[in-house]
Amino acid sequence: MRKVGILFEFVRVLILLFFLTAILYYPLRTLYETIGIETENYFYILTFAILLIVYVIYTNKLQFTGFYTKGAKKMPPKITWSILSISFLLISVPIIINYIG
């Protein structure tokens, strides 16, 4: 039964990863298009920043509601804020590059 729980949790993580990434990417793409920035040029930067945010959300909240919660621990607040700061910095990089360059 434990292996089935781990498999279900893996599938759940993949589904959450896909949907949360799509949900977070759409507003950023529309914001950048409104400003006049081409999102194709910065696709990898935005995707990496969004994946960092999704990782923090999963690690601090969603892992405690899944099929396999044994050994689940929250990240320390300093690490959480560091990762979120890096992701917001990565999100702002295309805007900075567009207005400087």
Instruction: Convert the pLDDT of each residue in 57-67 to its tens digit.
Output: 999 988 888 77
Domain total in the chain = 1
What's the domain range around 31?
A: 2-100
Average pLDDT, the chain: 89
1 pLDDT tier (thresholds 50, 70, 90): low
Place of tokens 């930067």: 45
Query: What does the alpha-carbon distance between residue 45 and residue 90 come to, in Å, rounded to a whole number?
Result: 6
Q: What is the pLDDT of residues 17-55, one digit of tens each?
A: 999 999 999 999 999 999 888 888 889 999 999 999 999
11, 66, 67, 74, 79 from 70: Cα distances, Å = 17, 10, 9, 12, 22
Q: Among 86, 76, 79, which Cα is nearest to 52's?
A: 86
